[in-house]
Amino acid sequence: MSVVRTRMAPSPTGEYHIGHIRTVLYNYALAKKNQGQFIIRIEDTDQERLVPGAVQRILNIIRQYGFDWDEGPDKEGKFGPYVQSERLDIYQDYVQKLIDGGFAYRCFCTKDDLEQMRAEQREKGLAKTMYDGRCRKLSENEVQKNIKQGKSFVVRLKVPADGTVKFSDVVYGELEFDTNEIDDTVLLKSDGYPTYHLAVVVDDHLMEITHILRGNDWLPSTPKHILLYSAFGWKPPVYVHLPNLKEQGENKKLSKRFGSVYAEEFLKEGYLVEALLNFLMFLGWNPGGDKEIYSLDEFIEDFSLERIHKTDLVAFDREKLLWLNGYYIRNMDNDKLFEEVVAWAKKYDVKLPDGSFTADYKEEVIGLIKERMKKLSEYSALVHYFYTDPTLNKKLLSKYAKSPARTAEILQGFYETFSVLPEDEWRVENIEGAAHDFVEKNGFKNKEAFMTLRIAVTGEEATPPIFDILKVLGKERSLERIKKALKD
């Protein structure tokens, strides 16, 4: 078997989609599993839709997700250049070969001509509009005359009539297409730039790409590519068309109406790369067992094309992603998790409420709240009362004791109970024991007493265990907050 070479060929026309990261993942895994090469190629032939700076942003986001490439626009190999706009002479040569071989032709139809043609086809009730091939009939003399007159033209693929195109796809098996349903697609635009169809075939062949893994929305285009491979006399690569991503419970592709869709957005929200990759692994592939937690290295080891799902769309379960991210957070060492939070905050210019406290204190705090934390972006909301005194809501403070007087009685009792507890005995078990003794002796209910204490100290109803919080805050700060609550 030849060396496996896969590629990802992003178009710099906007932000990089999370679905593209899934495709990168599968291409990368196949190459690395087989000790092959993974290539990045920039497909920038659609000059009208180019977005300034998009190339670098795309390369950056692919790297942020943990991938590197063996060849690419910033890592030259023997098959470069790896940017299509730098390969225009190559495409011109191959277009001429197609014309000379009778597999393509120049088309001089104007935009008005094409619109009139489509309108006439719609009036006839045709299911879809297609180019009618009128310029296929031009003689060589007519073609040269038009060129001398300076008429603008494109080059089209000459699709044979009344034939079939057959090819095999790893996921879909043997496929067959009627050539009468295939348009004479444009290969070279009037500005001299190739279309996707020409460039992708020429580049994949010249760069010795062995496997094409891409979304199944490209499946209808594959017959055109097979025709081009045949025209050039080249062997096609192995085709693997992957299911596209859809919203959970919907039959449509990912939509911003439901949440983030771009790869950068998920990182900005506070998702971990490891969790995102683990989640994406299962969007179109399954190991055939119960294992759900995979590192990238483990995925590469287990990945196989045969286990890719044969389905048009696979559900992007946002709740599952959130759960998985929480799992990775809970299983991360406290110091490592805090480093992740700090790096995330720095990157996205988020101010953290961590003040001038020691590293040990910060790690202790994050250890308490990480069970409740599902995204890095939730950190500040979960830890704020460890770093700054809470703003108390009087109504909330008296919610569980039912009256301000009973609330004050409870808080005064806790204040006196904790005041006599020695500083060197300020440990969770001692704080909890003293608190329970006070509550029991004075006939308070656990819920009214401890919820009142919790709100006085944190300003929140839902927190980690209150005695753990008191221990981390320390005796002095805990008493100060109870005293402040009594005054308020």
pLDDT at 126 over 90: no
Q: What is the pLDDT of residues 189-247, one digit of tens each?
A: 999 999 999 999 999 999 999 999 999 999 999 999 999 999 999 999 999 999 999 99
- pLDDT tens, residue by residue, 245-272: 999 988 888 888 889 999 999 999 999 9
Closest residue by Cα to residue 309 from 246, 225, 220: 246
Question: pLDDT at residue 462 above 70?
Answer: yes
What's the pLDDT score for residue 250?
Answer: 87
> Are 325 and 429 part of one and the same domain?
no
Residues catalogued as catalytic: 256
Other Cβ atoms closer than 10 A to 193: 18
pLDDT surpassing 60 at residue 1: no
> Quick check: 412 pLDDT over 80?
yes
Is 215 part of any domain? yes
CATH number assigned to the domain comprising residue 441: 1.10.10.350
User: 341, 366, 388 — which closes off a domain?
Assistant: 388
Per-residue pLDDT, 296: 98
pLDDT of residue 256: 85
Looking at the structure, do residues 202 and 103 belong to the same domain, yes or no?
A: yes
For 26, 107, 172, 265, 274, the CA distances from 30, given in Å and listed in that order, are 6, 40, 18, 26, 19
Helix (H, G, I), strand (E, B) or coil at 207: coil
Same domain, 231 and 252: no
Same domain, 98 and 238: yes
- Asked if 378 and 403 sit in the same domain, the reply is no
Residue 75 β-bridge partners: 72
Q: What is the pLDDT of residue 202?
A: 98
Domain match, 304 and 170 both: no
pLDDT digits (tens, 9 = 90+) for 284-295: 999 988 899 999
| Residue 399 DSSP one-character state | T
Evaluate whether residue 82 is within a structural domain: no
pLDDT at 485: 96
CA–CA separation, 285 vs 308, rounded Å? 4
In this structure, the dihedral spanned by the alpha carbons of residues 417, 418, 419 and 420, taken in order and rounded to 10 degrees, is 70
Amino acid making up residue 295: S
Q: Which of 310, 331, 352 is the last residue of a domain?
A: 331
pLDDT value at residue 76: 85
Residue 80 within a domain: no
Q: Is residue 79 part of a domain?
A: no
What are the b/e assignments for 42-70, b being 16+ CB within 10 Å?
Answer: bbbbeeeebeeebbebbbebbeebebebe
Residue 145 and residue 66 share a domain? no
pLDDT at 354: 78
Question: What's the residue count for the chain?
Answer: 488
Asked whether the predicted pLDDT for residue 325 surpasses 60, the reply is yes
Digit-coded pLDDT (tens) for 421-449: 999 999 999 999 999 999 999 999 999 99
pLDDT greater than 90 at residue 402: no
Q: Which pLDDT tens digit goes with each residue over 166-200?
A: 999 999 999 999 999 999 999 999 999 999 999 99
152 plus 112 within the same structural domain: yes
Residue that is last in its domain, among 242, 260, 288: 242
Q: Are residues 462 and 382 in the same domain?
A: no
Determine the Cα–Cα distance for residues 101 and 330; give it in Å rounded to an integer: 63
Domain that holds residue 60: 1-72+243-331
The pLDDT of residue 251? 85
Give the pLDDT of residue 356: 83
Answer yes or no: is 62 within a domain: yes
Q: CA 464, CA 400: separation in Å to the nearest integer?
A: 18
d(CA 484, CA 174): 75
Q: What is the pLDDT of residue 254?
A: 87
Answer whether residue 324 shows pLDDT above 70: yes
**Residues 41 and 163 placed together within one structural domain of the fold:** no
Model-level pTM?
0.93
To the nearest 10 degrees (0 to 180), the angle between helices 466-473 and 379-387 is: 60
pLDDT of 252: 81
Alpha-carbon distance of 365 to 387, in angstroms, equals: 10
Q: Are residues 291 and 375 in the same domain?
A: no
Which tokens hold the place of 351? 């101010």
Q: Report the CATH number at residue 257.
A: 3.40.50.620
Query: What domain count does the chain have?
Result: 4
Same domain, 321 and 354: no
Instruction: Give the pair of three-digit tokens for residue 396.
Output: 């909330």
In-domain check, residue 78: no
Q: Is there a domain that residue 77 lies in?
A: no
For residue 37, tell me if it sits in a domain: yes
pLDDT at 255: 84
Whole-angstrom Cα distance, residue 298 to residue 296? 5
> What is the C-alpha separation between 330 and 369, in angstroms, rounded?
9
**What percent of the chain lies above the pLDDT cut of 90?**
93
